[in-house]
Amino acid sequence: MPVGAQWGGALFVARRPKAEGVHEGRHPGRRAVPSPPPVLTEPGWPATLCYFAKVAPHRAQVRVPVVKSESGMSEQSTSAKPTDMRVRVQGEPRDSYPERAPEAERGRVRRITVVGEDVLHRRNAEVASELFGTDELSRLIDDMFCTMYVAEGVGLAGNQVGVDLRLFVYDCPDDDGVRHVGHVITPVLDERDPETTPLVVENEGCLSVPGPHAELPRAEHATVRGFDKDGAPLVISGTGYFARCLQHETDHTYGRLYIDRLAARPRKRVLKQMNEMREEVFARRAANAAALTGEAGAE
C-alpha cells in the first residue's frame, strides 16, 4: 500500500519508481506517449480521478523555471516568467489559504462508495438549476471536502458519497507544485487535441477502488467547464497531476472508473489487490475520521 504523508500534511502521489530510459520531457520519471493507446479510443466518453493519490514531497517544492537562453533554444522552458505559486481557488489565485478548504470544517464524513455499487457505474443526473444557491448543495460540497480529506484524496465525485449528481470537489497540486482547490458542478471536459496535448503515463488510483494503483495514460493538459454552487460559469484548467485529477473526476460523473480504462489483465490485478488491501484502507480512514472529527465520527 502506498505510504502516505502524515495526516494533515502535504498531499502526495503514489508514483512508480523512476526507471532507466524513461526520462523524457520536463517531467522526469514520466513517459510521454506519442499516440493514444487503444483504451482511450472508445468513443462516447470524455477523455478524464477521485483521484486519490498523493504527491511525493519533492513535488510540492517550488520549481524554479528554466529561463530561455539567448538563442531561445531551451527545451525545458516555455516561459521565462516565474511560476505563480499562489493557491488557486475555483481557478483564481489567493495570497493565503488554509491547509484544508473551509468547507471541510463545516462538513461531515460520509461513507465512500466502492466499485460495484450502482451509482458509480452510470451517468449521474445533472444538477437542476433549482439546486444552485441552496443550503442543500452547499452542505453536500462541505461533506464531500470533509470526506475527501479523511480518505486522503485529492478529488471526490458526488457518486462517491452515493449522490446521483454530476459534480466533484478537488484539492490537488499540479506538476509545478501549485495547489488547486475547488468544486465543479456539471463538469464537461474540452476535447483533447492530439497535436498539442500529449498523453502521459502515471500511476492512478481511486478512493472507490481502495488500495491499489495502476499506470494509465491521461492528457497532460485538461480544461473542465461547468458551474460553481451558485450557478456561475466556471472554466478550470490544469496540467500534469491536476489535469489527471480533472479527467478522473469528470469520468466519475459519467459513471466511469479508471479501472474501466485498463486492459483486462491490469484491471483484474487491481481488483484482486483491492480485495487484499481494502480493510487496511478503511481502518486508516476510520482513524483519520476519528482524529479529524472527534466525537462526530463517520456516519
Active site residues: 249
CB nearer Ni ion, residue 66 or residue 277: 277
* Cβ neighbourhood burial of 129 (10 Å; 0-12, 13-18, 19+): exposed
Taking the least distance from each CB to Ni ion, the nearer of 228 and 251 is: 251
Cell triple for residue 85?
505559486
Nearer to Ni ion, 49 or 292 (CB): 49
CB of 47: closest distance to Ni ion in angstroms? 15
| Residue 52 Cβ vs Ni ion, minimum distance, rounded to whole Å | 6
Which residue sits closest to Ni ion, CB atoms considered?
A: 50
Tell me whether residue 169 or residue 206 sits nearer to Ni ion (CB atom).
Answer: 206
CB of 249 to Ni ion, least distance (A): 7
Q: Which residues lie near Ni ion (CB under 5 A)? A: 50, 206
Q: How far is the CB of 121 from Ni ion (least distance, A)?
A: 13
Nearer to Ni ion, 50 or 243 (CB): 50
Is residue 287 within 8 A of residue 281, CB to CB? The reply is: no
CB of 188 to Ni ion, least distance (A): 18
